[in-house]
Amino acid sequence: MSNVPWWASESFWRKTAIWVTAGMTLVLIALTFDTVKVITAGHSRVPAYEVINKRIYYRMNTKRKFQEPVIGEDAPLFGKMLSPEEAEAMVSHGKMTVQAKNCGSCHTLLGNGAYYAPDLTKAWLDPAWAGESVRETLMVQFLLDPTTNARGFGSTRRMPNLHLTEEEARAVVAFLKWTSAIDTTGFPRNFTPVAQEGDL
Amino acid sequence: MSTAKITGIAALDGGQRLAVKYFAVAIVLFGAQILFGLLAGFQYLSPDFLYGVVDFSVNRMVHINAMIVWMLFGFIGSIYWLIEDESGTEVVGLWLGNLAFWLFTIAVVIVVVVYLVIQTGPGQIESIWFINEGREYIEAPRWADVGIVVCLLIFFYNVAATFMKGRWSGIAGVLVLDLVAVAGMYLTGMFYSPNLSMDQFWWWWVIHLWVEATWEVLVGCIMAWGLIKTLGARRQIVTTWLYIEVALMLGSGILGLGHHYFWIGTPEYWLTVGGFFSALEPVPLVAMVVHAVYDSGVHRFKSPNHPALAWLIAHAFGNFFGAGVWGFMHTLPQVNIYTHGTQWSASHGHFAFFGAYATMNIAVFYIAAQRWRGNVNFGGGLVDNGWKWKWALGLLNGGVVGMTMALLVSGYDQVFIERALEGATWSGFFKAQQNVWYLQGMWWRQIFGYMTLAGFFLLVWDLMTIGVRETRPAVFPTEVAEHAA
Amino acid sequence: MGALGHEGLNIVGPMGPEGLDAFLRAVIAGALVVVFGAVYAACFAFGRLFSSLILMRVAYGCFGLLMVTVYVLATSLQLGGVWNVLMVLMLVAYFVAPRMIWRLTAATHE
C-alpha cells in the first residue's frame, strides 16, 4: 500500500473533498447574497407590490431577444389605488391563499408545481380572460365557482371548488397580477399575451 | 460467521432492529406512493374520477410526499442497519431512536389523514401550520416540519455519538458531516414569504441541495459500506473512492442548483452557472463507468446476495440514465425554456428518483432480508430459482422506464403544441392536453403504472418469503478482507 | 446583459414552430452526448483491461460520434460566445475524465 502515489492517496482525496465542498459552498453563498438582493420585491427583477396599481404590459425586448414585463400607467386593481402597505398585504393574502388551497399541486407557478392545470405565472396576461377591462371580474367569478365557470377549452378537466371567500379570490387575483410582472428571463418562451388595448 | 441458523429479530443487532421498523414503514409508503400516483394518473384520463372528493391535487400531493418520506425512512433505516457494525459498538440512544421513529411515523399518519380529509384551509397562516404548506414536495404543515427536524437531530445525535463512542471511520466522518447538512437544509424551507421568487429560491435549497447533494452523499456512504460488506472490497480503496465521489458530486452538484434558477426571477448569470455545471454534471457519472469496468475485470466478485447485487446494478444504470441522460437532455437553458413546467420534468423526475434512490433502498431491503432469514444463501440456485425477485426487478424497472418514455412523448407534445405553436397560453395548454399524442402518452403511462404496481406486490411477497426454505449459509467474501486490512 | 453577451438568449433561432426541428435535434443530441460519452468510457476501459487495440479504436470512434453530437447540439441551439467555449470544455472533460479515472483507479488499487 506504500506505493500509492500521493494524488491517489486517501488523505489527499479527503482534503480535496473538503476543499471542493467548502469552495463551492462559498461561491453559492456569495451568489446567494447577490441574488437575494436582486429578487427582493421592488428591486430590478421582482416588482414592488404596489405594481398592482399599474398597468402591466408584456413586450419584446429586442436587445435581450425575449419578452419582458413593462410597468405602465395607473390601472388600479378593482378600481382602488392601494398604499404600498395595503398592496403588500393584499398580495401576501393572495400568496397565502395559493399555498393554503394547494394550487401548486395542479398548476405550476414560474414553471414549478404540477402539470395538471395551466401555468399561473402569466395568468393575468393570458388571453383566456377575454379582454383587459373584464378580466379581474371574470377571474374572481371563476375562482368563486370554478365548476360552473370552467375554462377547459374543450377539455373536461375542471378546477374543483376550493371555497374561496370573495376577499381571498380578489387577493389571489392581486397576487397573480403581481406575479405577471416578475422578469422571468423570457419564460414561458413565445408567450402570446392578451390583446393589450391601446398598446403600440 | 453463521454457525447455527438464527432468524428474525434474534439475528439482528439493536440498530438493525430499529432499522427494520423503518424499512417496514418505508415499504408501506412506497405502496402508497404507487397507489396515489395511479389515482392521479387516472384522473388525467378521466377527469371526473373522484372529482370534488379526492381531487388530483390531493392524490398528487400524497404521491410525491409518500415518495420523499419513504426514501428518508429507507435512508435512516439503512444507516441504523450499518451503524453498529461500522462503529463496533451499540447505538448510544436506541430508545431515543425508537421514540423518534414512532414520533415520525405517527406524524406521517396524521399528516396524510389531514391531507385526505381536510385537504385545504383558508388563506391564513394557520392553514400552513396545521393543514398543508402548499409548496411542492414539502407540503407537510409547519408543525410536521418542526417534528421532522427534531427527528433528524435525534438521528444525527445517535449517529455522531455512536461513532464517537465506538470506532471512527472515513465513512462515519462523511456520514456525520452530511447529516448536519440534511437537517440544516430543511430549515431553509421553513419560512413564509409573500415574494414568490424568494419563496422558490429557498425552496430549491431544500429540494435540490437535499436531493442532488446530501441524499447522494448518504447513498454514497451506504454503498461504500455495502461494497465492503457484501463484495469484500478493501476499506481503504472504498473510503478513498467515497472521498473522490463526494468531491466530484458536490463539486458539480452544489452549483448545479443554478439550473433551477433560470426562470424564477433570478439574475441572468444563473443561466451561465446552471448551464455550465449541468453540462459537467454527467461527466463524473460517465467516468465512473471506467471504475466499474476496472473492478469487474480485476476482481472476481462473488455475491451471496444476487437480488441486492442486481438492484445495485439497477441503481448504477438508473442513476446514469435518469439523472445523466434525462437530466442533460433538458438542463441547458436554451432547451429548458421550452421544456420547463411540462411532462418532460415528470419524465425526468420518475426516472431519476427511482434510479438514484428507490433502487438503492430496495438493495438494502434485500441485505436486511438476508440477515433476517439467518444469513442464508441468496445467491444462485434459490429454491424457486428466484423467479419472484427477478420478475419484481423486471416489472418495477420496466414499469418506471415505460412511464418515463410515455411521459416524454406527452412532454414533447406539450413543447410542440402548447409552447411552440400556441404561444404558451391557457388555451394552448388545453389544446396540447387533448392532443392524441399527449393522451396516448398518458394512457401508456397508466399502463406502465399498473406494471410498476404488479412489480411492487411481487417485491413485497418476495421480501417476505425469499430464503425461508433455504438452508445453505451465505458465504461472504467480507470477513477475510476486513480482518486482513 | 451579463454572461449571455450580445447573443441574448438565442434559442433555436426564430421563436415559434420554425424552431421545432432544431429543438428536436438538440434534445436528441443532448441525450446522445451522455450516451456516447459513456460508451467511449466503457470501450476505453475494456480496451485497457484486455489490451485490445480494436476496442480502443471503437472507443475513439465513439468519441468521434460524441464530437459530432456536440456539434449538432451547438448548431441546433445556435450557441454563441461563451456557450461554445462550454461545449469545447465539455468535450475535453469527456475525453480526459475516463483516462484520469483509469489512472486513479489503477493507482488506488495498488
In tens, the pLDDT along A102-154 reads 999 999 999 999 999 999 999 999 999 888 889 999 999 999 999 998 888 99
CB within 8 Å of chain C, chain B residues 83-112: none
Q: Name chain B contacts of A115, Cβ cutoff 8 Å.
A: 341-343, 345-346, 414
Which candidate from A27, A45, A191 shows the least CB-CB separation from B424? A191
Q: What are phi and psi of A72, to 5 degrees?
A: -110, -145
Q: CA of C54, closest CA in chain B: separation in Å?
A: 17
Rounded CA separation B162/B22 (Å)? 19
The torsion region of residue A163 among left (phi > 0), alpha (psi -120 to 50) and beta comes to left
Identify the bridge partners of residue A59 per DSSP, sorted by sequence position.
A68
A137 and A59, same structural domain? yes
C13, part of any domain: no
> In terms of residue numbers, what domain contains C91?
19-108
Helix (H) or strand (E) holding B428: helix B426-433
Assess if residue B314 is contained within a domain. no
- Can you state the angle between helices C82-108 and C20-49, rounded to 10 degrees? 20
pLDDT digit string (tens) for B5-47? 788 999 999 999 999 999 999 999 999 999 999 999 999 999 9
Q: Please determine, for residue B452, whether its predicted confidence score (pLDDT) is greater than 70.
A: yes
Q: Is the bond preceding residue A76 a cis peptide, omega within 30 degrees?
A: no
Type of residue at B205: W
Tell me the pLDDT of chain B averaged across its residues. 93
Judge if A97 and A129 occupy the same domain: yes
Q: Does A80 touch chain B (CB under 8 A)?
A: no
Query: What's the total number of domains in chain C?
Result: 1
Mean pLDDT of B426-449: 97
Interchain contact, A7 vs C107, CB within 8 Å: yes
Contact B293/A at CB under 8 A: no
**What's the confidence (pLDDT) of residue B484?**
40
Intra-chain end-to-end CA distance of chain C, in Å: 51
Judge whether residue B300 has pLDDT over 70.
no
User: Taking the CB of residue A168, how many other CB atoms lie within 10 A of it?
Assistant: 24
Subunits next to C (3 or more Cβ pairs <8 Å) are: A, B
Q: Are the Cβ atoms of C30 and B328 closer than 8 angstroms?
A: yes
Helices (DSSP H) in chain A: which residue ranges? 10-38, 84-100, 135-144, 166-179
* A34, A106: one domain: no
Residue of C nearest to B245 (CA): C101
The answer to whether residue A95 sits within a structural domain is yes
Shared domain for A116 and A173, answered yes or no, is yes
* Mutation to test the C interface, candidates B334, B407, B422, most C Cβ within 10 Å: B334
The 8-class DSSP code of residue A191 comes to -
Res B233: pLDDT = 83
Residue B6 lies in domain: 1-168
Helix-helix angle B14-45:B94-117, to 10 degrees: 10
Cell numbers at B333, concatenated = 437553458
Domain membership flag for residue C70: yes
CB-CB under 8 Å, C45 with B290: yes
β-bridge partners, B378: B305
- Looking at the structure, tell me whether residues A155 and A74 fall in a common domain: yes
Which chain A residues have a beta carbon less than 8 Å from that of B261?
35
In this structure, the answer to whether residues A12 and A88 fall within a common structural domain is no
- The CATH number covering residue B53 comes to 1.20.210.10
Cα gap B396→B257, rounded to integer Å: 29
Considering the domain boundaries, does residue B360 fall inside one? no
DSSP letter assigned to residue B332 = S
Place of cell 398598446: A199
Question: Which band of pLDDT confidence, cut at 50, 70 and 90, is reported for residue C1?
Answer: very low
B449, part of any domain = no
pLDDT for A199: 57
Q: Phi and psi of B129, rounded to 5°?
A: -75, -35
Nearest to B372 by CA among B3, B16, B1, B14: B16
Please indicate if any CB of chain A lies within 8 Å of the CB of B115. no
Greater confidence (A87 vs A187) lies with: A87
**Which residues from C are below 8 Å from A35, CB to CB?**
none
Q: Is the pLDDT of residue C9 over 70?
A: no
Regarding whether A76 and A34 lie in a shared domain, the answer is no
Tell me whether residues C11 and A189 touch, CB distance under 8 A. yes
| Preferred mutation among A12, A43, A187, A194 to probe B, highest tally of B CBs within 10 A | A187
Residue B412 has pLDDT above 90, yes or no: yes
Which residues in chain B (237-266) have CB-CB distances under 8 A to chain C? Answer: 237, 240-241, 244
Smallest CA–CA distance, residue C42 to chain B, in Å, is 6
- C-beta atoms of A4 and C1 within 8 A: no
Residue A77 scores a pLDDT above 50: yes
How many domains does the structure of chain B reveal? 1
Which residues in C lie closer than 8 A to residue B413 (C-beta atoms)? none
C14 has pLDDT over 50:
no
String of DSSP letters for B230-276: HH---HHHHHHHHHHHHHHHHHHHTGGGGGGSSSSS--THHHHHHHH
Q: Is residue A184 part of a domain?
A: no
The predicted-structure confidence for B369-394, as pLDDT tens digits, reads as follows: 999 999 999 988 888 899 999 999 99
Question: Which pLDDT score is estimated for A198?
Answer: 63
pLDDT of B438 over the 80 cut:
yes
pLDDT cut 70: percent of chain C above it? 84
Mutate to test the interface with B, among C40, C105, C110 (most CBs of B within 10 A): C105
Is residue A194 one of the residues assigned to a domain?
A: no
- A97 and A16 assigned to the same domain: no
Gap between the Cα atoms of C93 and C63, Å rounded: 12
Closest CA in chain A for residue B209: A25
Sorting pLDDT into bands at 50, 70 and 90, what band is B479? very low
For the cut 80, the answer to whether the pLDDT of residue C3 exceeds it is no
How many domains does chain A divide into?
Answer: 2
Residue C10 inside a domain? The answer is no
Amino acid (one-letter) located at C4: L
Q: Which residue of C has its CA nearest to B272?
A: C3
Question: Chain A closest CA to C23's CA: distance in Å?
Answer: 13
Task: Mark yes or no for CB contact B268/C101 under 8 Å.
Answer: no
Question: Per mean pLDDT, which range of A62-66, B2-6, B183-187 is the poorest?
Answer: B2-6
Q: Residue for cell digits 441546433?
A: C76
Residue B458 lies in a domain: no
Mean pLDDT of B133-158: 95
Burial class (CB in 10 A: 0-12, 13-18, 19+), C54: exposed
The count of C-alpha atoms lying within 13 angstroms of the C-alpha of C14, restricted to the half-sphere facing its C-beta, is 4
Domain with A20, as residue range(s), is: 6-38
A185, part of any domain: no
Specify if A118 maps to a domain. yes
pLDDT at C15 over 70: no
Q: Determine, yes or no, domain membership for C4.
A: no
For cell 406512493, name the residue: B33
* Residue that is written with C-alpha cell 414520533 in the block: B103
